[in-house]
Amino acid sequence: MKFVATEEIAAPVEDVWAAVTDFDAFEARASQRVSLERRPPGPASLGTVWDGQAEVMGTSRDVEMRLSELKAPHVIAMTGKSDGLNLLANAQLEVLGPRRTRLTVTTAAEGNSLGARLVLQPLKLAKKTLLQRYRGYVANFARRIEKGSRRA
């Protein structure tokens, strides 16, 4: 299952990159829903791992995400796994002008076992609703970046 959202942001690529790579803010938002631990502690860099537990379909699941690609200011990618699922999260930034950036966020999950594929099945049935919600999150993130960029 794959979700893709694209937003054009009225902010320079440097401001968007700073927001996309603000791992402390990401952890603070995520910790409201899941428990997270960064390894090793300290600033995130290529190879940094986040271990956590998330509630998925009424079951607590262990999740591990690794920062696998970091090419400033254009690409950041994380790969991970959770109970037979392979996970991918990717953000690409494209400069459209001095104060305009296109952000494309992709998230994918693929089951590599029967149990994992069964976990994904109900999500596939709700994909349209989930995709709308996903695009809404990315749009809200883009608007927050624009507001912060205007203050700078």
CATH number, residue 126: 3.30.530.20
pLDDT greater than 80 at residue 58: no
Six token digits for residue 74: 């254009």
pLDDT of residue 152: 47
- pLDDT value at residue 56: 67
Helix (H) or strand (E) holding 123: helix 114-125
* pLDDT tens digits, 9-56: 999 999 999 999 999 998 988 888 888 999 999 999 999 999 999 776
Q: How far apart are CA 32 and CA 55, in angstroms?
A: 12
What would the pLDDT profile of 86-132 be if each residue is shown by its tens digit? 999 999 999 999 999 999 999 999 999 888 888 888 888 899 999 99
pTM, to two decimals:
0.90
Domain limits for position 43? 2-151
CA atoms of 5 and 138, how far apart (whole Å)? 7
Question: Average pLDDT of the chain?
Answer: 92
How many structural domains compose the chain?
1
